[in-house]
Amino acid sequence: MRLGIVSDTHGNVKNLRRVAEELTENRKVDCIIHLGDECEDIKVLDDFKVTVLLVHGVYCRHYQDPEIPNRIFCRFDGYRFLLTHTDSKHKNDLPDDPDPQELAIAGEVDIILYGHTHIPGIKRENAVIWLNPGHLKDEDKKGYGPSFAVIETDDKGILLQIIELNTGKVLEELEIKKDLRQGKH
């Protein structure tokens, strides 16, 4: 399975379109995941034949709608994913929204995909992988250019990459091989 991950598009539909073209035409992703902020931007993705998953940003009006989940649990190739805009509880969370930190500590997820900070990064804490793809703004006051992530999973393991939009350079990468004899990674 190949996943494309974007976050914090903030109205930069031109950059989102560029990323979608890269993800669908060159990287052949099965799904694009948008981790919030300016969720209306995903209308651009209607032009591409790809499954789209979305969580809303904490300041989006939909975030306070109890009918729309703020955090989504899903599985890809056996890995348990949490899709969320923030990596921890937020003041705008609904009362029943789970805390990503608590889910990680309890071992209920393998990979947490989040945005919000605009800072791209991959880290592994205990057995949980945390990935933030960065943002897609042309300029950001935190000093990071636009970036996105790609995750590839198969029966041999998982490869996570954060890619700079304008250069195609891999900013960070994490590869974890499964121990096929024991089914562990």
- Per-10-residue mean pLDDT of the chain, 185 residues long, equals 97 97 98 94 96 94 92 95 97 96 97 97 96 95 94 94 97 86 46
pLDDT of 179 reads 64
Q: Please, what CATH class does the domain formed by 2-177 belong to?
A: alpha beta
pLDDT of 137 reads 96
3-state per-residue secondary structure call for 77-102: CCEEEEECCCCCCCCCCCCCCCCHHH
Give the start-to-end residue ranges of the domains of the chain: 2-177
pLDDT of 110 reads 96
Task: Give the Cα separation of 72 and 55 in Å (integer).
Answer: 7
pLDDT of 182 reads 46
For residue 175, give the H/E element and its range.
strand 170-177
